[in-house]
A and B are shown apart, each in its own frame.
Chain A
Amino acid sequence: MSEVKHHEVVMIGAGPSALAAAVYTTRENIESVLIEKSVIGGLAAITDLVDNYPGFEKGISGLDLSQKLQAQAERFGAKIELDEVTAIEDGGDEKIVKTLEGEYRAKAVLIATGSDYKKINVPGEEEYYGKGVHYCATCDGAFYNDKKLVVVGGGNSAAQEALFLTRFASHIDILIRSDWKASDVLIEEIEKHGAITVHKGVATNEIVGENNQVTKVLGKDKSGQSLEFPTDGVFVFVGLYPNTKFLNSSNIELDDRGFIKTDANLMTTMPGVFASGDVRSGATMQIASAVGEGATAALKIRQYLEGR
């Protein structure tokens, strides 16, 4: 594809924030296209259970929630294209969004690219990626029926996904560098679960394997004592980093952790370019917040378009 496509609004990403924004824009006949490089629904889509999104009294699977958001946005005319944005430039009246397959031009742009799971950057992590080191429990958990697993991390994602993995694994060791950051509800559920052992104050130092298979995780406790955790696989959930690498060549200002700075109207330092959800500096990393910010961004985009 090499032709230039002109749109009213281009949204980069198709996670909950962009999908919510698209519901608002397209419902008011503001033509919008969403560009997604990986999975519609973003990180939410690969989350086993979303238990704190309002309106679902029994919780809802991340995949189901994503599909409902997508269906709602598409009902009003949102278009979703699978492509990867590589750069964004200020073309004055039109913003130029460059992708692997071509170029989009839009009167306004919403960046809602969300965040991704951080790596722990220890020996063995890259070598055994996909072969024993994983970042998606709902994708890869089924390969560990009756196996031992290690989960690294102490936040909500680590806790929720460890609980999901108990469907398959015979036992799970959770390694937390300091202390829990997960919600009390999840911690209580884990602590009463017979198949999970929690190790707080343990740093993960190396993932070891042989014959192309992970065999153990090496760690160290706070006193410096070395520890070994025999395992068949490792699932890592140690926090999030923003998907903003494609902005490196733009003049959109980021904070010191790489999240996008916005003003009170959710506009970035490039006029006509807005940001919402997990990728925005100050985001709370909650699906409900991302959806709320998406709705707000859509209303601010409408104001911006009307005032041009």
Chain B
Amino acid sequence: MSKQITVYTTNNCAYCVMVKKYLSSKGHQYDEVNVELNPDRRQEVMDISGARTVPVTVITDGRGQKQVAIGPNYGLIASALA
């Protein structure tokens, strides 16, 4: 079953670029939410991650279960997408 991926980013965040490259290199499509361009969604990512940081990658499975990777945590992202 396909999983939905959302990556929260800011404009100049190199770690965000890396996470997006990682997902693309593995053939995954994702939605990006740039919280610098969309400040109204900052609280959303803070609520999800419990932190004021990006990148935050949210992987939602078909049953609505979410796994949250804070930072360039490729191991967690890979296992969540396995």
Contacts and interface: CB of A to CB of B under 8 A. Distances in A.
Interface of A: 38-41, 45-46, 48, 61-63, 66-67, 82, 100, 130-132, 134, 136, 138-145, 212, 233
Nearest to A41: B14
Contacts of A212: 50
Contact of B35 (A41, A130, A142): A142
B42 A143 contact: yes
A78 to B, nearest CB: 15
B66 to A, nearest CB: 18
Interface string B1-34: 0000000001111111110011000000000000
Given A46-B15, A131-B52, A38 B72 contact: yes
Contacts of B14: 39-41, 45-46, 62-63, 66, 138-139
B16 A142 contact: no
Given A38-B18, A40-B18, A63-B17, A131 B50 contact: yes
Interface in B42-82: 42, 46, 49-55, 70, 72, 74-75
A142 B36 contact: yes
Interface of B: 10-18, 21-22, 35-36, 39, 42, 46, 49-55, 70, 72, 74-75
Q: Determine which residue in A100, A136, A212 has the highest number of CB atoms from chain B within 10 A of its CB, and name it.
A: A136
Contacts of B50: 131, 212
B42 A39 contact: no
Given A142-B10, A143-B53, 17 more contacts: A38-B15, A39-B17, A46-B13, A61-B12, A63-B12, A66-B14, A82-B22, A100-B75, A130-B70, A131-B52, A136-B53, A138-B13, A139-B15, A139-B55, A140-B54, A141-B10, A233-B52
Contacts of A145: 39
Contact of A138 (B12, B18, B35, B75): B12
A40 B46 CA distance: 26
10 contacts: A39-B14, A39-B18, A66-B14, A131-B52, A138-B10, A138-B12, A138-B14, A139-B10, A142-B35, A142-B42
B80 to A, nearest CB: 16
A63 B22 CA distance: 16
Contacts of B18: 38-40, 82
B74 A82 contact: yes
Contacts of A67: 17
Nearest to A82: B74
Contacts of B55: 139
Contacts of A132: 52
Nearest to B18: A39
